Amino acid sequence: MTFRDDSSIDNSSASAGGGGGGMGRGMVIGGGGIGTVVIGLIIYFLTGSTGGVPQQPSQQGAAQGASAGQEQVNRDIAACRTGADANKNTTCRIVATSNSLDKVWATLVRGYKKPSALKIMPTDAAAINTGCGVAGADTGPFYCPADNVAVFQLDFMDRVIKKMGGSNAAFSQEYIVAHEWGHHIQTLLGDISKAQQGSGSQGGSVRVELQADCYAGVWASKADKGDGAMLKPLTQDDINGAIQSAQAIGDDTIQRNAGRNVNPESFSHGTSAQRVKWFSQGYKTGDPQQCNTFTGTI
């Protein structure tokens, strides 16, 4: 129960996600892939080719009307009013976390602007269309810089992350939201394009993802402090849950769990140890300036 019961939730930017549509252009950042999509960074930088994720025929029909799941998510969003709601409902927890992130980052980034939209995909949604293209439900949580939209799947938050060896405890879910917000900060600061610089274990993709982990830690260090704090004081158990999830979604751990040899040249998000290191760096220092993953060895 991480949120203060009496904290207020602004749900105006949130809505249910789902449906297909035309292809966008740009990149999907931070997809926590499920099934055949291994966690990775999928980049198509305004090349005129298809957007971040190939559109499959089964996804094309997903745009026809709102599903029952989408309608329920929209009802849940409309009912999100207080921190007490966030403590009981995953949808409200995602929305409340986005509010807390906006509050914290507005104090750290001059001229901060929140993402244009927060999309929450129900379990029956096959795909979602953003400015980066059509992403299947198995893409996992992601951020699209082309239209500044953050996308989260309820199934990933409630079940999949636990199946991967992570934690679906409240703060662990909030860490996942905070990581994607880290990509928004990178977009605002002009750093997101550094994902193109090199590949493999020391490449730009890994460095961008580890910085997003560090930014998540910075948020965590401040989200429970001050008069306007939305979170209750975080406990070590809260932090341990986030660390458990960071470990579970390291490239090396994912490859081992899939029965594959660890191949550093295929890394896109960093090892489990690196993800924990950079989240902890942000949490311990509370200083975004200490999140420079773009110089030196990471």
Domains identified in the chain, total number = 1
Average pLDDT over residues 96-106: 98
In a domain, 10, yes or no: no
Confidence check: pLDDT of 185 > 90: yes
In a domain, 178, yes or no: yes
Residue 1: the pLDDT is 84
Residue 138: the pLDDT is 86
- The model's pLDDT over 116-172, given as tens digits with 9 standing for 90+, comes to 999 999 999 999 999 999 999 889 999 999 999 999 999 999 999 999 999 999 999
Q: Greatest CA span in the chain, whole angstroms?
A: 50
In a domain, 48, yes or no: no
Q: Two tokens at 215?
A: 């930014």
Confidence check: pLDDT of 27 > 60: no
In a domain, 55, yes or no: no
Average pLDDT over residues 17-36: 49
In the chain, the percentage of residues whose pLDDT exceeds 70 is 84
Residue 29: the pLDDT is 63
- The model's pLDDT over 188-201, given as tens digits with 9 standing for 90+, comes to 999 999 998 988 99
Confidence check: pLDDT of 37 > 50: no
CB atoms < 10 A from the CB of 257, how many?
11
Look up the pTM and report it.
Answer: 0.88
In the chain, the percentage of residues whose pLDDT exceeds 90 is 80
Residue 59: the pLDDT is 37
In a domain, 47, yes or no: no
| 69 CB burial (10 A radius; 0-12, 13-18, 19+) | middle
Residue 166: the pLDDT is 97
Contact between 265 and 200 under an 8 Å Cβ cutoff? The reply is: yes
- The model's pLDDT over 229-270, given as tens digits with 9 standing for 90+, comes to 999 999 999 999 999 999 999 999 999 999 999 999 999 999
Residue 148: the pLDDT is 96
In a domain, 266, yes or no: yes
Residue 28: the pLDDT is 56
Complete edge-to-edge strand list for the sheet that includes strand 149-153: 14-16, 117-121, 149-153, 142-144, 26-31, 40-44
Q: Taking all residues of the chain, what is their mean pLDDT, rounded to a whole number?
A: 87
Contact between 96 and 3 under an 8 Å Cβ cutoff? The reply is: yes
In a domain, 117, yes or no: yes
In a domain, 144, yes or no: yes
In the Cβ-directed half-sphere of 199, how many Cα atoms lie within 13 Å? 7
Q: Two tokens at 256?
A: 């081992």
Region of poorest pLDDT, from 60-74, 78-92, 134-148: 60-74
Confidence label for 49 from pLDDT (cuts 50, 70 and 90): very low
Confidence check: pLDDT of 273 > 60: yes
What's the domain range around 139?
66-290
Q: Rg of the chain's alpha carbons, rounded to an integer?
A: 18
| 20 CB burial (10 A radius; 0-12, 13-18, 19+) | buried
Residue 137: the pLDDT is 87
